[in-house]
Chains A and B, each alone.
Chain A
Amino acid sequence: MTETLFKPGHTACAGCGQAIAARLVIDAAGKNTMIANNTGCLEVFSTKYPESAWCVPWIHSLFENCAAVASGVESGLKYLGKKDAINVIAQGGDGGTADIGLQALSGMLERGHDVLYVCYDNEAYMNTGIQRSGLTPTTSNTTTTPPGSASFGNPRPKKPMPDIAAAHGIPYVATASVGYPQDIQKKVKKALSIKGPKYIQIHVPCPLGWRHESSQTSEVAKLAVETGLYPIFEYENGQLIPRKIASVKPVEEYLKVQGRFKHLLKDAKGLKEIQSVADYNIKKYQLKAQG
């Protein structure tokens, strides 16, 4: 049996990107870590009573308040004089972070708590059945933004959550992807070495919600990055540090392996719009490698 702080036996779907990322995060953080977790896939599949996959102190309260609960945990540890030796991580999905949880997150960041917030971004409310969230990309087919005669899927762009976090003036913000697992662990370790509020958003494909094979999780995640649709970068004290793309791929390569974008493939106008999102990201986050 492997030495991990996130044990098997949990009921994540086969190939679940969030399960991969959650394990990478806690194993990088180590056993002197406390986690406050929002309601969502991860919480549900890892803690159905009496079984728990977690080998660190872990608490779940509600859907939108892990950042506030983590603020309370951090405050309790500060009162006990134990905060310096113990990491506090608040974690939730894209909906729980950018929509219903935005207020609590913003408050935690603004107050400067020494907490790492990890957002597992599978781009929809997956736990409740693939409904659209503020981080669902444009045109994505979800159960509440289905394409039809009057719609081409989700009409709105992704909320720029990492930039919103960075706008609070916090010392460290990063995006990461399950396509680059070692990068996730490096960033978690880096974040935890910094005092103050930190935000890491990890792209985690969902085979069920995105409609791809369970074995393709890593491939899909990599394509999102290589097309520029999921920009990988850090903000260290506000300074942008991009992860350059060695060879930029056209967006079709990413879209065609997922059922949630199937309706776009015959729509030249739609494809152009998505390509322009990718191009915008590449420019804004300086993702093109030199030469």
Chain B
Amino acid sequence: MKQFLEGSHAVAEIVKRCRPGVVSAYPITPQTHIVEDLAQMVSNQELNAQFVNVESEHSAASVVLGGEATGVRSYTATSSQGLLLMAEVVFNIAGMRLPVVMTTANRAISAPINIWNDQQDVMVVRDSGWVLFFAESIQEAVDLHLQAYKLGEDPDVMLPVMVNMDGFILTHGMEAVDMPSQEEVDRYLPAYKTTYKLDVENPLTMGYLADPDYYLEIRYMVQETHAELLGKIPHLAGEFKKTFGRESGGLIQTYRMEDAEQAFVAAGSVCGTIRDAIDELRAKGKKVGLVKIATYRPFPKEAIASSLKNVKEVAVVDKSISLGGFGPFYTDVTSALSSLGTAIPKTSGFVLGLGGRDIRVKSILDVYEKLSGKQVDCAFIGLKQELLAETE
């Protein structure tokens, strides 16, 4: 049934229906509404969960680590500085193969302090071993949380999954959302059952010290599992489509790529703006399309290379920057395209929207102009020249 919902509330609703037993979070804009809604649901007994109001994000992640370790489905959400503060716990959760699900309401990172959307925060934990999904819309954010628990808790996977949704744009935006019913969710997502847990009947030691004789193989196993996910995730998305009747998630999604000569590559809500720009360009006869990254880790290198192999020019749109280097998507995409040998398209990297700078159709059209010009590795779009004069 479709409901007109604020993004945060939609996420809280779907998380509630996933029946987590331990929820713990620390307030940070723009994640707050999600957690406030969950608190209200617990206090109205709509959600039977232990809601732990912690004293920092580091502890929020630690609480859900502990909760998940008792075999109880757990949930947390954060943004920006909070994700950075809990970063070591985030790596710990993946290394310990605990299938926690987290929402990151993507937000810019200090300094300077900025509460608005870009994708810099998740890039800090890109290497952690978490599965990283990116939602383009509120509907997709809802759907990805369901898929996240199902995928992570698969006994052959046992990895945590993060659903990234652009802060404010998706969390505080409103959309008509098809919200799966509790019965549908219960059918799709059974209760979490595992033998990998703290249990007085089977007293195991979790989180041991692994010396050089063991560490390499244990890390390799996480990498191998990510490789296996390249097969599992399309299956997960296909099964979701059969069950709920719509496309959500997967490794990549494409828009008007069938005969494209030029392409954009991007992730998150900016894809909506890019679709509009593509429609405008197509109306003028330009053969351009979009490859949307729906799963960033594992990185779908084959899917991306194959979707771009007939394209002449590619523009990668990053809403983050590895300062001193390139946009993270640009680095991964060019790495994937290197497998095309002599047929590698001319690929340029563009950085837009940092700190919530609005990305309009015009911004994408500016990128399009530059895409057919000289190849650039990392061009910032939309810079206000008057602010670039050195002061002090």
Binding site for B on A (CB under 8 A): 31-34, 36, 43-44, 47-50, 52, 54-62, 64-65, 68-80, 86, 103-104, 106-107, 110-111
Contact = CB atoms under 8 A, between A and B. Distances in A.
Interface residues of B, number: 43
Going nearest first, the 8 A-B pairs with the smallest beta carbon separation are: A72-B66, A76-B70, A68-B62, A107-B55, A60-B207, A57-B198, A79-B21, A75-B50
Nearest to A113: B52
B200 A107 contact: no
Given A72-B62, A107-B55, A48 B203 contact: no
Contact of A61 (B74, B89, B202): B89
Nearest to B24: A72
A70 B66 CA distance: 6
B214 interface: yes
Contact of A72 (B74, B207, B211): B74
Contacts of B28: none
Interface string B34-64: 0000000000000011101111101100111
Contacts of A77: 70
15 contacts: A34-B70, A34-B198, A43-B209, A57-B198, A61-B207, A65-B62, A68-B59, A71-B59, A72-B24, A73-B69, A76-B22, A76-B69, A79-B50, A104-B59, A104-B62
Nearest to B72: A76
B258 interface: no
Contacts of B200: 31-34, 56-57, 86
Contact of B66 (A32, A36, A107): A36
Interface string B241-281: 00000000000000000000000000000000000000000
A249 to B, nearest CB: 40
Contacts of B382: none
Contacts of B48: 79
Given A47-B208, A68-B62, A103-B59, A76 B21 contact: yes
Pick from A64, A75, A106 the residue with the most CB of B within 10 Å: A75
B68 to A, nearest CB: 8
A76 B203 contact: no
B55 A59 contact: no
Interface in B75-131: 88-89, 92, 96
B194 to A, nearest CB: 12
B327 interface: no
A107 B59 contact: yes
B206 A58 contact: yes
Nearest to A58: B205
Nearest to B86: A65
Contacts of B24: 72, 75
A72 B52 contact: yes
Contacts of B89: 61-62, 65
B210 A49 contact: yes
A79 B63 CA distance: 13
A48 to B, nearest CB: 5
A69 B86 CA distance: 13
Interface in B216-246: none
B305 interface: no
A278 to B, nearest CB: 35
A36 B207 CA distance: 10
Nearest to A104: B59
A76 B368 CA distance: 51
A104 to B, nearest CB: 5
Contact of B55 (A34, A55, A74, A106): A106
Contacts of A54: 203, 205
Given A61-B65, A75-B63, A103 B204 contact: no
B328 interface: no
Contacts of A36: 66
A55 B203 contact: yes
Interface string B17-41: 0000110100000000000000000
B63 A71 contact: yes
A110 B214 CA distance: 39
Nearest to B95: A61
Given A48-B209, A73-B67, 12 more contacts: A31-B200, A32-B200, A36-B66, A49-B211, A52-B208, A59-B205, A61-B96, A62-B89, A75-B63, A76-B67, A104-B58, A106-B55
A75 B58 contact: no
Contact of A76 (B50, B59, B210, B214): B50
A73 B21 contact: no
A103 B92 CA distance: 19
B55 A103 contact: yes
Nearest to B213: A49
B358 interface: no
B71 interface: yes
A74 B204 CA distance: 17
Contacts of B53: 111
A61 B62 contact: yes
B65 A72 contact: yes
B211 A48 contact: yes
A76 B62 contact: no
Contact of B204 (A49, A57, A70, A72): A57
B196 to A, nearest CB: 11
Contacts of A86: 200
B206 A60 contact: yes
A78 B49 CA distance: 9
Pick from A64, A69, A86, A111 the residue with the most CB of B within 10 Å: A69
Contact of B198 (A73, A103, A107): A73
Contacts of A75: 21-22, 24, 50, 52, 63, 66-67, 72
B199 interface: yes
A107 B70 CA distance: 20
Nearest to A106: B55
A110 to B, nearest CB: 7
Contacts of B208: 47-50, 52, 60
A114 to B, nearest CB: 12
A58 B198 CA distance: 7
Nearest to A71: B63
A50 B214 CA distance: 9
Given A48-B208, A73-B66, A76-B50, A65 B22 contact: no
